[in-house]
Structure 1
Amino acid sequence: MSAAGGRYYVEQEVTKLFRIRKTILEMLRDRGYVVLDTSADLEMTREEFGTRLAQANYSRESLTLLKQHQHDPSDQIYVFFPAEERVSVKTLRDYFVRMDQERVYKAILVVIKSLSPFAKQGIQKVASQFRVEVFLEMELLVNITHHELVPKHEVLSTEGKKQLLKRYHLKESQLPRILITDPVARYFGLQKGQVVKITRPSETAGRYVTYRLVV
C-alpha cells in the first residue's frame, strides 16, 4: 500500500471509530448513564478525536469507556473495543478480571467480527455474574433511533409497569411483545420482562401510544 493509500485507510478508520464512539455515548445517555455534553464526550469533534487517537498510536483499547448511572453510582458499565478481529477467550478473561476487581458488572463489547463459538461460551459461563452485550462495529455506525421511521421508545420503570397494568386491568401476558433481539431493544439494553412505551405520530390523534413487553 502506498503512503497516500495508507493515510486514506487511517483516515477512514478514524472516521468510522469516531461515529461508533458517538453512537455508543448516545446509547449510554439514553440508558440513563452520565454522558457529558463537552469535548470529553458528545461534543468532541472529528478532528479532536483523530488527534487523541493518533497520540494513543491508534490503539482501540484507548477508546475504553467507563460510565455510571445518573440515579445509581454503583451501576457502572464498561465499553471495550477489542483490537483483535476475532476476540480471544484470553482477552475476555482479562476483561472479566478487570471488571471483577473494580466491581463493575456490565459491559459492552464493540467487535470487528462476530465472536467465535468459544468466545460466546466464555460469555455465557459468566452470565450469572456479568452482563455482557456484544455489538458489531457496523451496527453502530448510525444511531438507529435517529431514523425517521423509528418511533420514540421510552423504557418504563418497575413502578411505571405496575401502574400501567393496574390502570388498564391487564396481565403482563396480555401486552403486545417486542423481542429482546430487536435492534431498538438492544440499543436500550432491554431485558426480559421490561415494558417499553412506543409513541408514533398519528394524522388523526396527533400521536398514537402502545406498550410492548420484552420477551
Structure 2
Amino acid sequence: LLNATMDDTQRAAERADRLNRYFKIRRTIFEMLDQRGYSVSEAELKTTLQDFSKQFATQEMSTESLTISKTRVDDRSAKILVFFSDIAKPGVDSFKRYLTRMKEANAGRAIVVVPQDLSAYSRKALDYLARTSDTYTIEYFLEKELLVNITKHKLVPKHKVLTNEEKTTLLEKYRLKETQLPRIEATDPIAKFYGLKTGQVVKITRPSETAGRYVTYRLVL
C-alpha cells in the first residue's frame, strides 16, 4: 500500500511538472507568434498556469491537443501550424507527416517542438526542404529553448524584421549592396525566434548613453 501511494505521488509530481513545462512553452510560442505578426488573442497571451491546467490536466495529456494554428494579421491566407512531437527525436518520416498536414491545412509554415535534438539526417532533410521549397517551411525548436522568451531579456535589444520594400529603401538610401551589411546567422537564437530566412534584413535598436538610441541593420545568412 505504501509503495502504491508513493507511485501515485510520483506520477502526480511528474504530471504537474509536464503541465508546467508545456504551459511555459506554449506561453513563449504565443508570444513568439505575436511578435512575428500572427493573430494571437489577449487571452492566449495572458493564460495562467491555473487556466492551462484546467484545459489540459487530463490523466494522459495528448501532445496533439496542444497543436496551434494561426494566421498573419496582415495576410489571413498566411497560416502557421505548431506541432508538439510525442517522439523524443522525430525522424524524417515524422516530418513528412507534418508536411502532409501542412498541405491539408493550406499552411505554408510550421514549427515543431521536440524534446531532444534531431539526428544529423533529419536536420539535413529540413535544410534540403528549406533550400528547395518556396512554399513550405518547417522550423524546429527544442523544448528547453522555449521555456523562456529570450527577447524579453534585458540585454537583448529590440529587433524588427524589415519587409522587402523596407529593405530596398534602406539599401537605396545608403547606396549599399546587401552584402555590405553586417551579418547574422539564421541559426542565431534571435534569428530563430523570429523565423528569419537567408536574405532578410533585421533592424536592431540599442539604447545609447550619448545618442539615446543606436540603430544597426543585419543581413541574415
Work out whether 1:134 is the aligned partner of 2:140: yes
Instruction: Decide whether the 8 Å contact of 1:56 with 1:62 is kept in 2.
Output: no
Shift of 1:198: 0.5
Q: Which residue of 2 aligns with 1:6?
A: 11
Aligned partner of residue 57 in structure 2, secondary structure: helix
Deviation string, structure 1 residues 75-117 (Cα, Å, up to 9, x no partner): 1000000111121444323222221122212100000011224
Deviation string, structure 1 residues 17-45 (Cα, Å, up to 9, x no partner): 1000011111111110000001xx11211
Which of the numbers 196, 202, 207 marks the counterpart of 2:202?
A: 196
2:201 and 2:126 map into 1 onto residues whose CA distance is 26
Shift of 1:124: 4.5
Q: Which residue of 2 aligns with 1:146?
A: 152
Which of the numbers 16, 21, 31 marks the counterpart of 1:16?
A: 21
Query: Higher helix fraction: Structure 1 or Structure 2?
Result: 2
Question: CA 1:178–1:11 in structure 2 vs 1: closer, same or farther (change >3 Å)?
Answer: same
Aligned partner of residue 201 in structure 1, secondary structure: strand
Instruction: Decide whether the 8 Å contact of 2:19 with 2:57 is kept in 1.
Output: no
Equivalent residue pairs, number:
213
Work out whether 1:106 is the aligned partner of 2:112: no
Q: Which residue of 1 aligns with 2:177?
A: 171
Give runs of aligned pairs for residues 55-134 of structure 1, distance below 5 A.
55=58, 57-124=60-127, 126-127=129-130, 128=133, 129-134=135-140
Question: CA 1:162–1:87 in structure 2 vs 1: closer, same or farther (change >3 Å)?
Answer: same
TM-score by length of 1: 0.93
Segments of 5+ residues of structure 1 without an aligned counterpart are none
2:164 and 2:95 map into 1 onto residues whose CA distance is 32
Identity of aligned residues (%): 47
Question: CA 1:126–1:208 in structure 2 vs 1: closer, same or farther (change >3 Å)?
Answer: closer
2:93 and 2:182 map into 1 onto residues whose CA distance is 41
TM-score by length of 2: 0.90
Q: Which residue of 2 aligns with 1:214?
A: 220
Q: Which amino acid aligns with 1:96?
A: L
Q: Which residue of 2 aligns with 1:52?
A: 55
Q: Which residue of 2 aligns with 1:32?
A: 37
CA RMSD of aligned residues (A): 1.6
Q: Which amino acid aligns with 2:79?
A: Q
2:187 and 2:146 map into 1 onto residues whose CA distance is 15
